[in-house]
């Protein structure tokens, strides 16, 4: 039975990486932008988050640095695609290649960090290790998925975002700043991809070897 608890726990951790990145790309696509550079943003964010945590010893600063790195790269992508009208697919692939090349660094191991979990509940046999012994970002990703579903389907802002993606000419005619709305969606999506990348290097495989997130962290590349 303990093996089932470990299986469920590892599934939740691995799924968090995919969920965060997928939610970011969902917002991008609702705004009418396809960003194939998610992998590059995640890799750069993994390095930024890891380096920040090694220097400061603060995991939360590492997550913030990862999100910021993803948002900055997404902003560059957004300017190129939205204002300079470069090809979305080619620009995204170039961003991915940049991320892979950016990882030519040495090796390091994170300092000992306190494990974040839900007190008391983690001690419940079987259920505790499976469901309640995770980083808060795991639960945050679940909450974010529900919040985004509500936002996109039930709010006026979500409706405007979808209108910008589905009919930008009509949205522009109604006075909405289509380009800026798209850029905001792209930056938000990049920040979520950055969080996913930071989660890989800080929680999933807290070890950096020869410019790579060691071992299982490459699950991000399965996207």
Nearby residues of 125 by Cβ (< 8 Å), 6 or more positions away: none
Q: How far is CA 189 from CA 69, 85, 89, 101, 185, in A?
A: 12, 19, 16, 22, 6
What pLDDT was estimated at residue 86? 92
- What's the mean per-residue pLDDT of the chain? 81
What pLDDT was estimated at residue 213? 46
Average of per-residue pLDDT across 75-89: 93
Tens of pLDDT, residues 124-166 = 776 666 677 777 888 888 999 999 999 988 899 999 999 999 8
Q: Helix/strand/coil (H, E, C) string of the chain?
A: CHHHHHHHHHHHHHHHHHHHHHHHHHHHHHCCCCCCCHHHHHHHHHHHHHHHHHHHCCHHHHHHHHHHHHHHHHHHHHHHHHHCCCCHHHHHHHHHHHHHHCCCCCCEECCCCCCCCCCCHHHCCCHHHHHCCCCHHHHHHHHHHHHHHHHHHHCHHHHHHHHHHHCHHHHHHCCCCHHHHHHHHHHHHHHHHHHHHHHHHHHHCCEEECCEECHHHHHHHHC
State the pLDDT confidence band at 121, using cuts at 50, 70 and 90: low
State the pLDDT confidence band at 184, using cuts at 50, 70 and 90: very high
Tens of pLDDT, residues 20-59 = 999 999 999 999 999 999 988 998 898 888 889 888 888 8
């Amino acid at each position: 039975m303990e093996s089932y608890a470990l299986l469920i726990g590892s599934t939740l951790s691995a799924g968090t990486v995919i969920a965060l990145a997928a939610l970011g790309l969902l917002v991008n696509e609702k705004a009418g932008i396809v960003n194939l550079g998610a992998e590059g943003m995640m890799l750069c964010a993994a390095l930024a988050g890891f380096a920040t945590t090694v220097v400061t010893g603060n995991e939360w600063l590492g997550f913030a640095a990862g999100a910021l790195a993803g948002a900055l790269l997404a902003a560059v992508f957004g300017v190129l695609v939205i204002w300079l009208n470069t090809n979305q697919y080619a620009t995204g692939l170039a961003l991915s290649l940049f991320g892979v090349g950016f990882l030519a660094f040495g090796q390091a191991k994170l300092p000992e960090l306190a494990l974040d979990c839900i007190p008391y509940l983690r001690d419940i046999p079987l259920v505790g290790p499976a469901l309640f012994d995770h980083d808060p970002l795991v639960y945050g990703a679940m909450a974010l998925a529900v919040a985004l579903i509500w936002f996109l389907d039930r709010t006026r802002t979500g409706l405007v975002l979808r209108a910008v993606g589905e009919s930008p000419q009509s949205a522009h005619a109604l006075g909405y700043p289509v380009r800026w709305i798209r850029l905001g969606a792209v930056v938000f999506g990049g920040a979520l991809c950055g969080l996913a990348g930071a989660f890989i290097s800080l929680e999933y495989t807290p070890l950096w070897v020869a410019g790579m997130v060691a071992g299982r962290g490459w699950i991000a590349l399965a996207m």
